[in-house]
Amino acid sequence: MGKTLKTTCKMCRREGVSLCGREKCALKRRSFPPGQHGPTQKSNKKLSGYGMQLREKQKAKRLYNIMERQFRRYFDDARRKTGNTSEHLIRSLELRLDNTVYRLGFAKTRRQARQMVNHGFFSVNKKPVDIPSFAVKVGDEISVKESKRSKKMTEGVKEVMTRTTAPKWLFATPADLKGKVVSLPEGEDLQTVFDPTLIVELYSR
116-150 confidence digits (pLDDT tens): 999 999 999 999 999 999 999 999 999 999 988 87
- The predicted pLDDT at position 1 comes to 40
pLDDT > 90 in the chain, percent:
60
Cα separation, 200 vs 76, in Å, equals 10
Cα separation, 80 vs 42, in Å, equals 39
- What's 154's domain CATH number? 3.10.290.10
Number of domains the chain contains? 2
Work out the pLDDT band at 24, boundaries 50, 70, 90: low
Return all residues near 46 (Cβ < 8 A) that are at least 6 apart.
Answer: none
Q: What tens digit of pLDDT does each residue of 147-175 get?
A: 888 767 677 888 889 888 999 999 999 98
- The predicted pLDDT at position 47 comes to 79
CB-based burial of residue 116 (10 Å sphere; 0-12 exposed, 13-18 middle, 19+ buried)? buried
Q: Are residues 128 and 168 in the same domain?
A: yes
From the list 175, 170, 179, 104, the residue with the least C-alpha distance to 141 is: 179
Mean pLDDT, range 42-50, rounded to an integer: 72
Q: What tens digit of pLDDT does each residue of 180-200 get?
A: 999 999 999 999 989 999 999
Say if 60 falls within a structural domain: yes
Q: Are residues 101 and 69 in the same domain?
A: no
Cα separation, 26 vs 80, in Å, equals 39
- What's 15's domain CATH number? 1.10.1050.10
Quote the pTM value: 0.83
* Residue range(s) defining the domain that contains residue 72: 9-84+193-203
Q: Are residues 23 and 49 in the same domain?
A: yes
Say if 63 falls within a structural domain: yes
Q: Are residues 69 and 100 in the same domain?
A: no
The answer to whether 135 and 70 have CB atoms below 8 angstroms apart is: no
Cα separation, 70 vs 48, in Å, equals 26
**Which comes out higher in pLDDT, residue 3 or 34?**
34
Mean pLDDT, range 31-35, rounded to an integer: 60
Say if 199 falls within a structural domain: yes
Q: Are residues 35 and 101 in the same domain?
A: no
